[in-house]
């Protein structure tokens, strides 16, 4: 009797066509959180932003696209890549944070759930296919993987579809510089039971949550523009707090996951980390390696797509994984047998990680 393992049998992603370059914000009036106007020139604001985040451009959906629709597109790719019949899915887990937000409104629409909508759009009739959503901040997709893995190993499911999809362009405050961070996209994976002889599959997982003062690091709040309607709220972030929290806590969670797997850090081939901020992610990797008394080479071990795609929340990790598998990230390859470490951090504040043998 072989030990049951959970493998990723297919992946997919949707990258919106609309490229929004940094220079498109050059004439935008930005305000600080205290509603005072930012006097720096547009050029200086953009230069500083790029130096801090590494973001040159981001992708935003078309006016007629919404979150469940782009999640569906990534899901279809993953289903095709895995070569499965969607009717055989036991669960559809959709990670997001704002549901469907339609153009010209900022209202979250999550009834019915996005997972129910995507099940419907996939044409799945099977009543035993259970769709549900996860609201877990940016680490939502990884949390969906962790949950699906638990269901599969406990014998409650054989095959699950996990989607991370978000349209942050619909909830940004255009008077806040943080608008330039956020983007749209969707990524998906099929997870299934495997009793193959090889060692591929999920080896270990870890998750932590800090909800005392950390609770308010990411939140919905009124626009920075002084005359704005205080009842209309947008995504807001205490960037410095998120940065400091992530640097101190994310490496520890990654270490927990890796130690549970029994794998040496020297055997980790790639670290796929939430694309939040280039400098922050590099610092997290350096600190993670330091926990083992080692030095990291971030350019070698950490593939990045944030400079082109921005931060699409739950979509960053599955999108990055799918792009590497399809040779769309220069200088990065994933081969059979490679050890991968996935990690994310976001609103909650929540952090999670899993170790996977390809």
Please give the order of strands across the beta sheet that includes 339-346. 201-209, 350-357, 339-346, 268-273
Identify whether residues 181 and 325 lie together within a single domain. Answer: no
Identify whether residues 259 and 211 lie together within a single domain. Answer: yes
Q: Which domain holds residue 48?
A: 5-194
H/E run at residue 143:
helix 140-153
What's 31's DSSP letter?
Answer: B
Measured CA to CA, the distance from residue 143 to residue 148 in angstroms comes to 9
Identify whether residues 334 and 261 lie together within a single domain. Answer: yes
Identify whether residues 58 and 92 lie together within a single domain. Answer: yes
Identify whether residues 169 and 296 lie together within a single domain. Answer: no
pLDDT of residue 4: 85
List pLDDT tens digits, range 176-228: 999 999 999 999 999 999 977 788 999 999 999 999 999 999 999 999 999 99
DSSP 3-state of 348: coil
| CATH number of the domain that residue 252 is part of | 3.40.47.10
- Give the Cβ contact number of residue 35 at 10 Å: 14
Domain boundary among 194, 228, 250: 194
pLDDT of residue 195: 78
Number of domains into which the chain is organized: 2
Identify whether residues 22 and 164 lie together within a single domain. Answer: yes
163's tokens: 């989607």
Largest CA distance in the chain: 68
pLDDT of residue 1: 41
pLDDT band at 113 (very low <50, low <70, confident <90, very high): very high
List pLDDT tens digits, range 81-92: 999 999 999 999
Identify whether residues 259 and 344 lie together within a single domain. Answer: yes
Report field, pTM of the whole predicted structure over 0.85: yes
Decide which of 104 and 111 is more confident: 111
Q: b/e for 288-316, b at 16 or more Cβ within 10 A?
A: bbeeeeeebebeebbbbbbebbbbbbbbb
List pLDDT tens digits, range 294-330: 999 999 999 999 999 999 999 999 999 999 999 999 9
> Any idea of the CA torsion for 331, 335, 338, 342, to the nearest 10 degrees?
60
CB 314 within 8 A of CB 182: no
Identify whether residues 237 and 97 lie together within a single domain. Answer: no
Please give the order of strands across the beta sheet that includes 159-167. 5-14, 184-194, 159-167, 91-95, 130-134
Q: With pLDDT > 90 as the criterion, what percentage of the chain qualifies?
A: 95
227's tokens: 């005359």
Identify whether residues 89 and 42 lie together within a single domain. Answer: yes
List pLDDT tens digits, range 169-190: 999 999 999 999 999 999 999 9
Identify whether residues 225 and 178 lie together within a single domain. Answer: no
Identify whether residues 38 and 187 lie together within a single domain. Answer: yes
List pLDDT tens digits, range 272-283: 999 999 999 999
Does residue 264 surpass a pLDDT of 50? Answer: yes
pLDDT band at 36 (very low <50, low <70, confident <90, very high): very high
DSSP 3-state of 273: strand
How many Cα neighbours within 13 Å face the side chain of 317? 33
> Any idea of the CA torsion for 78, 17, 52, 351, to the nearest 10 degrees?
-20
pLDDT of residue 2: 55
149 phi and psi, to 5 degrees?
-60, -40
Identify whether residues 205 and 320 lie together within a single domain. Answer: yes
Domain boundary among 165, 194, 223: 194
Mean pLDDT of the chain: 96
Domain boundary among 163, 194, 225: 194
- Residue identified by tokens 């297919």 is 10
């Amino acid at each position: 009797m072989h030990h049951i393992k959970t493998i990723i049998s297919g992946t997919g992603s949707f990258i919106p066509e609309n490229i929004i370059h940094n220079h498109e914000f050059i004439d935008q009036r930005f305000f600080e959180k205290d509603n005072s106007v930012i006097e720096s020139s547009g050029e200086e604001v953009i230069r500083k932003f790029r130096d801090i985040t590494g973001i040159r451009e981001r992708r935003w959906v078309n006016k007629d696209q919404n979150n469940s629709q782009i999640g569906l597109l990534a899901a279809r790719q993953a289903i095709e890549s895995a070569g499965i019949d969607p009717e055989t899915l036991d669960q559809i887990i959709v990670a997001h944070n704002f549901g469907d937000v339609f153009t010209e409104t900022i209202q979250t629409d999550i009834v019915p759930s996005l997972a129910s909508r995507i099940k419907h759009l996939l044409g799945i009739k099977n009543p035993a296919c259970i769709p549900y959503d996860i609201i877990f901040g940016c680490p939502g997709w990884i949390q969906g993987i962790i949950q699906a893995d638990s269901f599969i190993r406990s014998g409650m499911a054989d095959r699950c579809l996990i989607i991370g999809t978000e349209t942050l362009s619909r909830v940004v405050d255009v008077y806040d510089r943080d608008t330039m961070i956020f983007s749209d996209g969707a990524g998906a994976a099929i997870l299934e039971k495997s009793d193959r002889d090889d060692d591929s599959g999920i080896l270990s997982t870890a998750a932590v949550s800090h909800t005392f003062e950390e609770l308010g690091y990411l939140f919905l709040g009124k626009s920075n523009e002084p005359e704005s309607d205080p009842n209309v709220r947008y995504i807001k972030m205490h960037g410095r707090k998120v940065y400091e929290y992530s640097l101190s806590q994310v490496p520890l969670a990654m270490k927990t996951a890796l130690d549970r797997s029994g794998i040496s850090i020297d055997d980790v081939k790639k670290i796929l980390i939430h694309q939040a901020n280039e400098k922050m992610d590099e610092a997290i990797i350096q600190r993670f390696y330091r926990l083992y008394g080692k030095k990291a080479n971030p350019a070698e071990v950490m593939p990045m797509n944030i400079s082109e795609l921005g931060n699409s929340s739950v979509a960053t990790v599955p999108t990055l994984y799918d792009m590497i598998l399809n040779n769309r990230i220069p200088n990065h390859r994933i081969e059979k047998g490679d050890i991968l470490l996935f990690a994310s951090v976001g609103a909650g504040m929540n952090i999670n990680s899993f170790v996977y043998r390809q």
